[in-house]
Amino acid sequence: MVSAKVSRGTAFGAALLSLLAVSAQSAVAAPAAPAAPAKPAAPSAPAAPALSAPDPDALRTALRAALANGAPGAMARIDDSGSVLRQTEGIADRATGRVMDTDDRFRIGSVSKTFSAVVLLQLVDEGALALDTPVNTYLPGLLDPRITVRHLLSHRTGLYDYTNDMFAATVPGFESVRNRVFTYRELLDLSLAKPPTVTPGTTYSYSNTNFVVAGMLIEKLTGKDVGDAYRKRIIKPLDLDDTFYVHPETAIPGRHVKGYLRPDEAGAPLVDSTRQTVSWAQSAGAVVSSAEDLNTFLSALMRGKLVSGTALAEMRTWTPVNSTQGYGLGLRRRDLSCGVSVYGHTGTVQGYYTFAFTSADGKRSITSFANTSNNGTVLNTLPRTLEAAFCGVPPVKAANTAKTAKTVRSTTADGSAVERYEDIAPGIARQ
């Protein structure tokens, strides 16, 4: 089943040329050296091209590809300077057959990391925290004394990601923690039992453990739980009516998408993974939200409504991930085939894949989603929704006609970036 709707007019005008500040952020930064690990530097680059109008047909094709490869449903919402494009495919609930709806709530997984980073950057703005101060200053004796707050938020601590072990066997691992409630310290101890993956302050090494410690910092500095910080500092100021931190409750409030986890065994039936505590993630991935709320959140962030200009510049100082991606402070940058860079985060929690990204000026945002996980083929359909939203004409068309598409390494045939790893158990490749 397909549904598409355009609000406040069907035409999307081409966006204005991105702010000049983007030019300093679009290039991938060199990693910081061990001897001076404060932060990476960001060399200048040519200004990004103007945005083309979104391509609804390419967006629909990407969503249908998610279904063809095993997702029960998929959806996307684009907010573009007051205009809204909504598209859905498939179903939100296999038991009832209810169709997917872009107003549905869902688990956003590691997009939660951007919420946590915003709270910590607000604390930096308030003088309660300093990015280049060792974490042990605030949480004495917790970590290697070389690890700073900046290292946490940029995934440069070397702290082992405990989810690699927890979910090495996908469904058994999930069932063992579905209803379990962890303390932050229990999760951290799982990580500290393993040797570090990199020297603190050097290269990027994605780890959920980093944002577990971020949650510990938030609670230490605010005297409240993480959910309280999200509500007071982000959810209420932005009127995010569909956004919740329900941990350790297992239910998603209101009308929501059910998540379906693919087992490792070929041909095994999908597992309904909707109800769970997500206590294995907490401040690293336990937020519930909607497509509209995520677009509002990321747009507000890039427009400077949540943190100071200085703090936002820190968030947008990039550590290299690969040839087409950089990681800032709780924020991903993805470089698309048309030369445009977009900003946001990806998210995986069992049964849910989310991509939420916005333009440099926050004027155009997309959240795309599929209700499955442990399926690398479905995961690779979602970068195509970014191409449709921000590049407009599909990359293959552009290459064959105007020859204007930027060459991107590590891409699929249509020009979108290849995803081999999820945000949970990031050391395990997904097929």
SS3 state at 79: strand
- In degrees and rounded to multiples of 5, residue 102 shows phi and psi of -70, -10
Write the DSSP assignment of 294-343 as a string of letters: HHHHHHHHHTTSSS-HHHHHHHTPPEEEETTEEE-SS-EEEE-TTS-EEE
Q: Say how many CA atoms lie within 13 Å of 344 toward its Cβ.
A: 30
- In degrees and rounded to multiples of 5, residue 341 shows phi and psi of -105, 140
Proportion of the chain in helix, strand, coil states, percent, rounded to 5: 30, 20, 50
Spatial CB neighbours of 17, under 8 Å, sequence gap ≥ 6: 47, 48, 49, 50
Which structure tokens are listed for 60?
């629909």
* 5: enclosing H helix or E strand: strand 2-7
Give catalytic status of residue 205 as yes or no.
no
Annotated catalytic residue, options 83, 110, 368, 373: 110
Report the C-alpha dihedral over residues 122, 125, 130, 132, rounded to 10 degrees. Answer: 90
Residues tagged active-site: 110
